[in-house]
Amino acid sequence: MVEELLGRPARGHFTVVVRNPDGRPRVIRNAPFLDDGTPMPTRYWLLDPDDNVRVGRLEAAKGVKRAEAAVDPDELAAAHDRYAAERDAEVPDGHTGPQASGGVGGTRQGVKCLHAHFAWHLAGGDDPVGRWVADRLAEADAGLDAEGATEGEQL
């Protein structure tokens, strides 16, 4: 099912960490390396097609810039550090080869991908950007557009 949702064979080990109510995988947690030894910076991966479309729409509506403007930079930097520490804790002792760096999605600062932040948030990560995404999606579910106006209301 994960490979079907990815649209390709999995290239590394993973664990399904969040499921939809119907049991379908929603978020996976990746091992720190792909099967060929390539570092995998994206620890949490959003699989759900509906989530991916909705977050993609948010990104297309300048969501990355809006999230960066809305979230405290120190809180975001701390989140990147937590994410990296969790991923790095899974690197085998004595590993001497290449290793992923950066935080959420391999980013050292700022926001690169709302999907990665939202996936970590869904998996229980303390991620201010993931919370911001969840709030925007909840607003959309409540009939508000990306700027907080109800449908049909002019800003």
DSSP string covering 5-19: HHTS---EEEEEEEE
Q: If you average pLDDT over residues 86-114, what whole number do you get?
A: 91
Q: 146 lies in a domain? A: no
Place of tokens 């099912």: 1
Q: 29 lies in a domain? A: yes
Q: 150 lies in a domain? A: no
pLDDT score at 91: 95
Does the structure show a pLDDT above 60 at 146?
A: no
Q: 152 lies in a domain? A: no
CB contact set of 70 (below 8 Å; sequence gap of 6+): 132
Does the structure show a pLDDT above 50 at 131?
A: yes
Q: Are the CB atoms for 77 and 109 separated by under 8 Å?
A: yes
**Residue numbers of the domain that contains 47:** 2-141
Q: How many helices (H) and strands (E) does the chain have?
A: 6, 3
CB contact set of 131 (below 8 Å; sequence gap of 6+): 121
Does the structure show a pLDDT above 70 at 46?
A: yes
Q: How is residue 109 written in tokens?
A: 């600062």
The dihedral region occupied by 114, where left means phi > 0, alpha psi between -120 and 50, and beta the remainder, is alpha
Q: 116 lies in a domain? A: yes
Q: Whole-number mean pLDDT of the chain? A: 91
Q: How many domains does the chain divide into? A: 1
Q: Give 150's pLDDT tier (boundaries 50, 70, 90).
A: very low
pLDDT score at 145: 54
